[in-house]
Amino acid sequence: MSHDSAIGIHDLSFATTEFVLPHTALAGHNGTEIGKYHIGIGQRSMSVPAADEDIVTLGAAAAAPIIARHGTDRIRTVVFATESSIDQAKSAGVYVHSLLGLQSACRVVELKQACYGATAALQFAIGLVRRDPGQQVLVVASDVSKYELDSPGEATQGAAAVAMLVSADPALVRIENASGLFTADVMDFWRPNYRDAALVDGQESISAYLQAVEGSWKDYGEQGGRSLDEFAAFCYHQPFTKMAYKAHRHLLNYAGHDTDKDDIERAVGQTVAYNAVIGNSYTASVYLGLAALLDQAEDLTDRPVGFLSYGSGSVAEFFAGTVVPGYRQHLRSEANLEAIARRKPVDYAGYRELHERSLPTDGGDHSTPAQTTGRFRLAGISNHKRLYQAR
């Protein structure tokens, strides 16, 4: 293997929902000045799941193109990262494993730590591949971000899944060893088991995020990481796209650099395109940022990219990846644009109805309305068991 056993992201694919609510429709309902959404938080629309869509169908849809391209022979682990878990015991990844027809000689687990989970999954995957470079690990990050109607968080909702194949000699991004870590016990955002919608303290969440940026960057330097000016771009967790700009400005300040507007735009401007129209996808968010960057940047060959993954509560990690020569022929730029373009616009009343839906808890037989047109759907529920269908 070249690059002293380089390990990283070999392939990356994403999926989002059947429906989309434009922020103009939300503003029309609640009378908010549209600039507060388009400019204030940097959001234009949000992905809305259909009645027969959930983290499993999204995760399977994201991973299917990776399986189609690379096969299943070398995948001996699936790590499913989410904070919208559907079961307290069974990993959502087991359903995805089944829908994709993966081999039974495989370990499958689910990881949770707010929006940080997919980065934990990526780092665990790298450790497994380092132990046995012949193996590949499928990482799936899938989430539905849901806040109460008419709450401050409503405008940041979204849903998507990103799938990544982690392997030796990756075709896209080599992940470097140095990692800056940070954990602090804060109550900025949480969702107790008895609640469908998260609880969030908006101001606390922003300050906790910025504190985590400082802490993880400081540790990254102490672990022998790169200097700030080496990076071509930065992928931040984006609860809303404006946060990437805030975070980078804060990092520049903290590191004693000038906060030039053009420099900030160059650093994060190409990472926000997908998140701005999908909304917050929690664990998938930072990797949607990477997809947007790789799809749009002129040429990142051999250039380092910084990643800041933040999960409320809170855990953060700063790490770097170097873009691999020839990466462009492995991108899924057209498919990515298609995943976004295929969503059907829903009006405010339709969105509200979908938002308020929940699966019955009586253990009876209930089928879900067939609203999705994708390959995988949640067909219904019977005897407390979720029933999935591959088309």
**Per-residue pLDDT tens digits for 100-159:** 999 999 999 999 999 999 999 999 999 999 999 999 999 999 999 999 999 999 999 999
Closest CA to 305 of 5, 2, 8: 8
The span from the CA of 262 to the CA of 279, in Å, is 24
In sequence order, what are the residues at sequence separation of 6 or more whose Cβ sits closer than 8 angstroms to the Cβ of residue 217? 180, 251, 254, 255, 308, 318
Above pLDDT 70, what percent of the chain?
A: 99
Express each pLDDT in 282-325 by its tens digit: 999 999 999 999 999 999 999 999 999 999 999 999 999 999 99
Q: Which of 10, 97, 237, 355 does the annotation list as catalytic?
A: 237
Percent above pLDDT 90 for the chain = 96
pLDDT 10s digits, 228-275: 999 999 999 999 999 999 999 999 999 999 999 999 999 999 999 999
Q: Strands 344-345, 366-367: parallel, antiparallel or unpaired by DSSP?
A: unpaired
83: its two tokens: 């904070």
Q: How far apart are CA 141 and CA 284, in angstroms?
A: 5
Annotation says 235 is catalytic: no
Catalytic residue, chosen from 18, 53, 83, 317, is 83
Domain of 327? 2-390
**The CATH number of the domain where 381 resides is what?**
3.40.47.10
DSSP state letter for 368: P
Check: pTM over 0.85? Answer yes or no. yes
Tell me: cis bond preceding 167? Omega within 30 of 0 counts: no
202 pLDDT more than 90: no
Report pLDDT for 238.
98
Tens of pLDDT, residue by residue over 209-218, are 999 999 999 9
Q: Helix or strand or coil: residue 56?
A: helix
The whole-angstrom separation of Cα 298 and Cα 233 is 12
What confidence tier does 4 reach under pLDDT thresholds 50, 70, 90? Answer: low
C-alpha span between 267 and 361 (Å, rounded): 47
Query: Residue 83 catalytic?
Result: yes
Number of structural domains, the chain?
1
Q: Which of 10, 23, 53, 115 is catalytic?
A: 115
Tens digit of each residue's pLDDT (9 = 90 or more) over 33-86: 999 999 999 999 999 999 999 999 999 999 999 999 999 999 999 999 999 999
In this prediction, residue 1 has a pLDDT band, given cuts at 50, 70 and 90, of very low
